[in-house]
Structure 1
Amino acid sequence: MAKEINEDTTSVDIDNKLVEEILSQSNPNELFGKDGLFQELKKKVVERILEDELSHKLGYSRHSKASKQDSNRRNGTSEKTIIDDSGQKDST
């Protein structure tokens, strides 16, 4: 069953000073280009979500020992291709 999302927790407050600092020190291509900050941020967020999803499914976090009774274990990583509205990306 899907977990209901509380609308109050879905909004994120972003500090305006941080936004101004990023905008003043970057050009649009550095922010939104193919290898820009925005793309790198999306990649890191997706990788973190996938890692947390795996930890939840397996019942233990990375670098923790799995119980001997559990045969479902972490066994390294593999590259994944993620396709979103801005194109195709590889994730490790």
Structure 2
Amino acid sequence: MEDTQTIKAEQHKIRKLVYEIDHKVEEHITLSSGEQRRVQKGIAQKVYELESNPEFRSKLFRELHREIKDRFGVASYKDIKRKELQSALSYIENWFPRKVS
């Protein structure tokens, strides 16, 4: 009886550790190269959709990249967490440049 309780207590500890490790891993995994490419394509598609003049596109690219970095708290779009990929793609899809007066 005592051995069963000990085994159950050990199993509980192991499950808790596995959960904690899994959570930490999820918090640190960034985009794969394929996912980074999806973000790049989304950015390009949005900028080309908004601006036909090549002279102004570079400004929009810079602005969108800056806002992505601010929104997701990263130094580069490549550092976006994998779990936030869909959120980033949605953000890009719905993004519009700020109006400056």
TM-score higher than 0.5:
no
User: Based on CA coordinates, which of the two structures has the bigger radius of gyration?
Assistant: 2
TM-score, normalised via structure 2 length:
0.31
Which protein is richer in helix relative to its size?
2
- Relative contact order: is structure 1 or structure 2 higher (C-alpha 8 Å, sep ≥ 6)? 2
TM-score, normalised via structure 1 length:
0.33
Which protein is richer in strand relative to its size?
1
